[in-house]
Amino acid sequence: MTTAAARNNDTLTRHVVYPFANANFLAVNPPICIEGGDGVYVSDGPGAHYLDGQAGLWNVNVGHGRPEIKQAIIEQLDRLSFYSTFGNTTNSPSVALADELCRLAEPEGMVRTFFSSGGSEANEAAIKLAKQYWRLAGQPLRTKIISLRGAYHGVTLGALSAGGVNVYKEQFTPLLPGFFQVETPHVYRNPFTSDPEALGRLCAELLEREIIYQGPDSVAAFMAEPVQGAGGVIVPPANFWPLLREVCDRHGVLLIADEVVTGFGRSGSMFGSRAWGVKPDIMVFAKGINSGYIPLGATLINAKVAAAFQSDDKSQFTPRAFMHGNTYAGHPLACAAAIANLRIVEQEELPANAGKVGAYLLARLKDIQKRHPNMGDVRGKGLMIGIELVADPETKRPFDLAENFGQRIWERCVAKGILIRNLADTFIISPPLTFTTEHADKIADTFDEAISAVE
Ligand code: PMP
C-alpha cells in the first residue's frame, strides 16, 4: 500500500472516479486523504490534524476510533464474519439489532426492521415496501410517490426519482415514472411569505392539492427528510410535519420519514420525526445507525404496514413475501457495530448533547453573521447547520461559482485545521454528536477568520 508520505496528488486521482466531483477540478485540487481518526479529530497521516466538522459524511456520530465498537466488531469477527439473512438462515446480531431498533422507535410505533447496506438502499426498500403494501391491501393502483423539492434520498434509481435536486437527476433521465415533487417550506428562499407558520401551512396545502390532483387512490406514499440535509439544511417550520401527517391521513397516504441523517440524535432528538411530534408509517435509517464503522441501512415499518405482509398461507414465496433483499442485508459485523454504537448514543445522551451544542454553535454563527453580509442565512437544528453564502444579501443573489468564494473560505478553514463541507456555497456543519462547546468555538472562530480574510 502506498503510504501517505509517498503519495503525490497525481496518485490520488489517477485511477479513481470520485463521487460528485469533476475530475479536472480534482486534478488541481486533490482530495485530502484521511489516514487516521480519533474522537472528533482526523489526520492525513504525517501532515495535519483536523477537527472533523462533517463527521465523515454526517455519519460518524459517536466519533472516530471508539474502542467499544472496535471490540464489538472483533468479537463478532471471531464468531462469524458473514451469514445470509435470506429467510432460511439468519444471524444473531441482525436479530438483536432489529429488536433494539424497534425498542428505540417504539414511541413511533415501529415493529419490524428490514436491513440493507446504506441510505439509498434503505429508501429503495421503503419505496418498494409502500408499493407492495398497497397491492397487498387491495389497492394496487396506489403506486405514486410524492416528495419534496430539495430532497436528497440517495442515488439508486428509485431513491433518485424521489429526490428533488435536479443536478443529481438530469444526467440520468428518464427516471422512474410516478414520482412527483412539491414545494418545500424553505423559509429563507420562497416567493410566498416570510412567516414560517404560514409557509408551513401553505406547503402542506400544496401537498394536499397535489394528492387530490393526482387522485388520492393513486398515491402510495409521501416521503421526506425531517430536516432536509444535502438540499442545504432546510429546517421546516414546526407546524409542517404535524400538518403532513394530517394530510397523509386524510387521503390514506403512507408517510415515509427519511431519517438517514436525522436518525439517532443529529437534530437534537433521538429521531427527527420525534422532534416534530409525528409518527411516520415507515422510517429509514443509515449513517448514524452505526456511525459508519461498517455500511448499514435499515427500513422500519409500523404495525399497519407490517400487517399487510402477514398471511395464513405458510408457503415460502407467497405474494406476501417482501420480494426484495441485498446480499449484505443484516451483515453481522455491521449489526454488531450498530448495537455497540446505539449503546453509546443512549449512555452518553448524544441527542441531548447535539441539541445543546448545536444551539450554542448556531447562536455563535448567527452572531458572526451580523458582521458578514455575505453570510446570507445561518440555519440549523441540533448538529446539522447550514451557512448559505450570497453575493448580495438584499436580493439573495448567489455567487457566480466561478468566483470560488466558498472554495477559498473552505481552503482557509482547512489550513486552520477544520473540515466542513462546502456544497455550492452552502457550508454544512455536521460534526460528531460528541462535540463540546469548545469544539463549536473552534469551528465558529475559524469560519469567522476565514470569511474575513476572503471578503
Ligand atoms: N437519505 C438522506 C437524507 C441522505 O442524506 C443520504 C446520503 N447523504 C441518503 C439518503 C443516501 O444514503 P447513502 O449515501 O448511504 O446511499
Does residue 338 sit in the same domain as residue 355?
Answer: no
Distance of CA 102 to the CA centre of its chain: 20
Average pLDDT of span 419-435: 96
**Is the distance from the beta carbon of residue 186 to the nearest atom of ligand 1 less than 6 Å?**
no
Task: Give residue 5's pLDDT.
Answer: 43
> Closest ligand 1 atom to the C-alpha of 58?
8
Task: Give residue 317's pLDDT.
Answer: 67
- CB neighbour burial string for 239-272, b if at least 16 within 10 angstroms, e if fewer: bbbebbbebbeebebbbbbbbbbbbbbbbbbbbb
Q: What are phi and psi of 375, to 5 degrees?
A: -85, 85
Average pLDDT of span 417-446: 97
**Is the distance from the beta carbon of residue 113 to the nearest atom of ligand 1 less than 6 Å?**
no
288 close to 266: Cβ distance less than 8 angstroms: yes
Residue 3 lies in a domain: no
pLDDT at 8 over 70: no
Q: What is the CATH number of the domain that holds 36?
A: 3.90.1150.10
Best residue among 54, 157, 235, 261 to mutate for probing ligand 1, ranked by most atoms within 8 Å of CB: 261
Does residue 332 sit in the same domain as residue 360?
Answer: no
- Distance CA(373)–CA(452), nearest Å, equals 11
Q: Which three cell numbers stand for residue 103?
A: 425498542
**Is the distance from the beta carbon of residue 286 to the nearest atom of ligand 1 less than 6 Å?**
yes
**Is the distance from the beta carbon of residue 326 to the nearest atom of ligand 1 less than 6 Å?**
no
pLDDT in tens, 88-140: 999 999 999 999 999 999 999 999 999 999 999 999 999 999 999 999 999 99
**Is the distance from the beta carbon of residue 258 to the nearest atom of ligand 1 less than 6 Å?**
yes
| Torsion angle defined by CA atoms of residues 438, 444, 446 and 451, in that order, rounded to the nearest 10 degrees | 180
pLDDT at 369 over 50: yes
Q: Give distance in angstroms: CA of 368 to centre of ligand 1.
A: 30
Q: What is the CATH number of the domain that holds 261?
A: 3.40.640.10
Q: Rounded to whole angstroms, what are the CA distances from 440 to 222, 305, 345, 432, 443?
A: 35, 41, 19, 11, 5
Instruction: Give percent above pLDDT 70 in the chain.
Output: 98
Residue 65's nearest CA partner among 295, 334, 263, 293 is 293
Q: Give distance in angstroms: CA of 299 to centre of ligand 1.
A: 13
Given the C-alpha cell 476510533, which residue does it identify? 65
pLDDT at 1 over 50: no
Element (H, E) at 312: none
- The region that residue 65 occupies, defined by phi over 0 for left and psi between -120 and 50 for alpha, beta otherwise, is left
424: confidence class by pLDDT, cuts 50, 70, 90: confident
Q: Give distance in angstroms: CA of 121 to centre of ligand 1.
A: 9
Does residue 198 sit in the same domain as residue 301?
Answer: yes
Which of the listed residues 347, 365, 387 is the one where a domain comes to its end?
A: 347
Does residue 280 sit in the same domain as residue 418?
Answer: no
Q: Give distance in angstroms: CA of 136 to centre of ligand 1.
A: 28
Does residue 52 sit in the same domain as residue 92?
Answer: no
Residue 150 lies in a domain: yes
Does residue 127 sit in the same domain as residue 235?
Answer: yes
- Distance CA(431)–CA(452), nearest Å, equals 23
10: confidence class by pLDDT, cuts 50, 70, 90: confident
Residue 7 lies in a domain: no
Residue 364 lies in a domain: yes
Does residue 309 sit in the same domain as residue 249?
Answer: yes
190 close to 199: Cβ distance less than 8 angstroms: yes
Residue 270's nearest CA partner among 350, 385, 177, 171 is 350
Task: Encode 348-359 in three state secondary structure.
Answer: CCHHHHHHHHHH
- Distance CA(141)–CA(143), nearest Å, equals 6
pLDDT in tens, 256-313: 999 999 999 999 999 999 999 999 999 999 999 999 999 999 999 999 999 999 877 7
**Is the distance from the beta carbon of residue 285 to the nearest atom of ligand 1 less than 6 Å?**
no
> Is it true that the peptide bond before 174 is cis, omega within 30 degrees of 0?
yes
**Is the distance from the beta carbon of residue 261 to the nearest atom of ligand 1 less than 6 Å?**
yes
**Is the distance from the beta carbon of residue 154 to the nearest atom of ligand 1 less than 6 Å?**
yes
Residue 223's nearest CA partner among 265, 163, 167 is 163
Residue 265 lies in a domain: yes
Which of the listed residues 322, 347, 372 is the one where a domain comes to its end?
A: 347
Distance of CA 206 to the CA centre of its chain: 24
- CB neighbour burial string for 130-143, b if at least 16 within 10 angstroms, e if fewer: bbbbbbbeeeeebb
Task: Give residue 294's pLDDT.
Answer: 98
Residue 227 lies in a domain: yes
318: confidence class by pLDDT, cuts 50, 70, 90: confident
Average pLDDT of span 437-442: 98
Task: Give residue 316's pLDDT.
Answer: 67
Best residue among 60, 153, 271, 285 to mutate for probing ligand 1, ranked by most atoms within 8 Å of CB: 153
Does residue 308 sit in the same domain as residue 190?
Answer: yes
> Closest ligand 1 atom to the C-alpha of 151?
3
Does residue 106 sit in the same domain as residue 234?
Answer: yes
Average pLDDT of span 196-225: 98
Instruction: Give percent above pLDDT 90 in the chain.
Output: 90
| Torsion angle defined by CA atoms of residues 62, 68, 73 and 79, in that order, rounded to the nearest 10 degrees | -150
Does residue 189 sit in the same domain as residue 117?
Answer: yes
Does residue 99 sit in the same domain as residue 163?
Answer: yes
Tell me which residue range forms the domain holding 211: 69-347
Average pLDDT of the chain? Answer: 95
Residue 8 lies in a domain: no
Does residue 376 sit in the same domain as residue 416?
Answer: yes
Which of the listed residues 319, 347, 375 is the one where a domain comes to its end?
A: 347
> Closest ligand 1 atom to the C-alpha of 120?
16
Task: Encode 13-76 in three state secondary structure.
Answer: HCCCCCCCCCHHHHHHCCCCCCCEEEECEEECCCCCEEEECCHHHHCCCCCECCHHHHHHHHHH
Domains held by the chain: number = 2
Residue 124 lies in a domain: yes
Q: Give distance in angstroms: CA of 366 to centre of ligand 1.
A: 28
- Distance CA(431)–CA(380), nearest Å, equals 13
